[in-house]
Amino acid sequence: MDWTKEAVMYNIYPLGFAGAPRENDFELTYRLDKIYDWIPNFKKLGINTMVFNPVFESTRHGYDTIDYYKIDSRLGDNISFKEICKTLHENGIRVILDGVFNHVGRDFFAFKDVKQNREGSRYCSWFMNLNFGGNNHYNDGFCYEGWAGHIDLVKLNLDNTEVTEHLIGAAKFWIEEFGIDGLRLDAADCINIEFFKRLRSTCLSLKPDFWLYGEITSGDYNRWANNEALHSVTNYECYKGIYSSHNDHNYFEIAHSLNRQFGDGGIYRNIYTFNFVDNHDVNRVASMLRNKNHLNNVYTILYTMPGVPCVYYGSEWGIEGTRTKFSDYELRPCLDINNIPNPNYNLYEHICKLGKIRKALPALKYGDYFNVNIKNEQLVYRRRFEGQTVYVALNLSDNHFTIDFNSEVGTLTDVLNGDEFESDGYVRIGLPPLSSRILVIGGDKVELESENEVLIPIENNVSEILMPEPVSTGKYRHFKGKEYEVLGIAKDSETLEELVVYKALYGDNELWVRNRQNFEEIVERGGKRIRRFERIE
């Protein structure tokens, strides 16, 4: 069975999610470990696949890669991320990483060699349109092609065998060492198909159910998603159609796109598209909707249309965010699971229920698509699979509406709201304002499962429980990796508070002071208790 058809995905932008500094200071910090606190939320939502936007070492935003084989030091290290992958897998959650294989940052090792050695660099052929007769605004004394005109994103030459070996080697590394389950291919419409064919062959040889999907914003999806290249693509057509059909009170728009893609004779019936209503590149859907009361219907469509649904982190609570001319950072906030800003709990519970319904209904995961009744403010479509039929009915108006349509004979059970309707082949169903129904007929009784137990590694051996140790002069290692020498204990002249005086054993040997209690504190990382400062000498 294709696991992607059973998937409900969750997408985070790690550098924003973890509150990393915008410029990489290369100080090892385990910020991504906060994801352990979010696992109960994933389980309640029915999430079984995590999509991580860039996690590889970069200079700024993640898409300017420095090292494809290393976790960004602002997030953690390879050891801590391996534990994250292990814990997610133990909780039944697969892992997909963002493969930014079209371009790199200016601090990428091969490009730095070009800057240093110019025409003498062995890496000149790694980059597109490198010209030592030109210049750029960094005054390198040469010019080159940047992705979409962005000179900070140096475009790779994917016709160069060394380049493709380096990139495919990275994919192999993350599969073999971390057990990842898929890759999102960034800027896939800029990458030649032959590279995707090689990537697919390698990944599937290591993991036969590995999944590759590409970021495609326009064009014919079949060009990239087929039996030789990628498995799927981002469904930007329906992303736009979902929010704009609500804003314009025109369900004909999204109904047309769904039928065009997945209906009888639909052009993408053989692609299980990656579906979303917002992501790290576009405004949050709660900011795009003119009427926030349409959010429930938006997610009902997302979870019941053909393809795999994906929720962007925080949007399950309806948080807002818009991009500006100069920045996307508002789309990529640092969120505290215990302090979500202005949470929409009604939406959250609605999405939790949708996750359970999708899991319970094969017709929503495997069924065909058919438009049953389309009006400007109401829509009914049908999904059918192996004896189970599901009708999805939506009303975006502020008024109650009674809609009628031809249906199969029997009892239609609304698993979203708990109502039942009898049909003799033709049924009339009331739709409350701003609401949706998911009506099931045929098949076995539908049972909605609750979330499973959360498995997070915790140190349970009582004999190994750490206790604070009194600090004294000597050498210590901070839990983030850097070493210091404690010079002594001082007292604040006003409060008499004890302060640890210590100097860094790196760089300019800066002097630091810290509250003694804080210095001796036991902290948690990756679910394990460790000392903030561990004595090493």
In a shared domain, residues 338 and 413: no
Mean per-residue pLDDT for 221-236?
A: 98
User: Domain residues for 116?
Assistant: 104-154
Radius of gyration of the chain (CA): 26
Whichever domain contains 128, its CATH number is 3.90.400
- 181 and 148 housed in the same domain: no
Q: Residue 470's pLDDT band (boundaries 50, 70, 90)?
A: confident
Percent of the chain with pLDDT over 90: 85
Say how many C-beta atoms besides its own lie within 10 A of residue 222's C-beta: 13
Using left for φ > 0, alpha for ψ between -120 and 50, and beta otherwise, residue 530 falls in beta
pLDDT at 466 over 70: no
Q: What is the pLDDT of residue 494?
A: 76
331 plus 222 within the same structural domain? yes
Which of 341, 361, 381 terminates a domain? The answer is 361
**Phi, psi values for residue 312, rounded to 5°:** -90, 135
pLDDT of residue 451: 57
- Residue 424 φ then ψ, to 5°: -105, 20
CA distance 99 to 288: 28
Sequence-separated (6 or more) residues with CB below 8 Å from residue 198: 164, 168
User: What 3-state DSSP class applies to 147?
Assistant: helix
Largest CA distance in the chain: 87
pLDDT for 460: 33
Mean pLDDT of the chain: 93
Q: Give CA 497 to chain center in angstroms.
A: 45
Is pLDDT above 50 for 176?
yes
pLDDT at 458: 41
Point out the least confidently predicted range of 143-147, 431-435, 521-525.
521-525
Q: Is 3 inside a domain boundary? A: no
Checking 510-515 for CB contacts under 8 A at 24+ apart, the result is 511/487, 512/484
Ranges assigned E (strand) in 375-419: 378-385, 388-395, 401-406, 410-414
Which domain-ending residue is among 361, 388, 407? Answer: 361
Give residue for tokens 């999806």. Answer: 221
Nearest to 151 by CA among 104, 102, 116: 104
Amino acid at 475: K
Q: Are residues 340 and 213 in the same domain?
A: yes
Task: Taking the CA atoms of 16, 21, 23 and 29 in sequence, report the sign of the dihedral they define.
Answer: negative
Say if residue 70 is exposed, middle or buried (CB neighbours under 10 Å; 0-12, 13-18, 19+): middle
249, 134: one domain? no
- Rounded to 5°, angle at Cα 311 from 265 and 454: 125
From the list 76, 84, 96, the residue with the least C-alpha distance to 4 is: 96
Residue-level pLDDT at 485: 94
Residue 459 reports pLDDT greater than 50: no
pLDDT of residue 450: 60
Domain contains 426: yes
Whether 348 is covered by a domain: the verdict is yes
Handedness of CA 444, 446, 450, 456 (dihedral sign): positive
Tokens of 173: 């590394």
Instruction: Assess if residue 208 is contained within a domain.
Output: yes
Q: Residue 128 is which amino acid?
A: M
For residue range 284-318, what is the model confidence (pLDDT) as tens digits?
999 999 999 999 999 999 999 999 999 999 999 99
Q: Distance of CA 275 to CAs 8, 213, 433, 531, Å?
A: 10, 11, 26, 43
Which of 386, 412, 441 terminates a domain? The answer is 441
Q: Say how far apart CA 113 and CA 342 lie, in whole Å.
A: 48
Picking from 306, 236, 335, the residue whose alpha carbon sits closest to that of residue 278 is 236
406 and 268 together in one domain: no
Query: Higher-confidence residue: 445 or 74?
Result: 74
Q: Is the dihedral of CA 10, 16, 18, 24 positive or negative?
A: positive
**In contact, 366 and 5? CB cutoff 8 Å:** yes
Identify whether residues 147 and 279 lie together within a single domain: no
CATH code at 470? 2.30.30.320
Is residue 87 located within the same domain as residue 209? yes
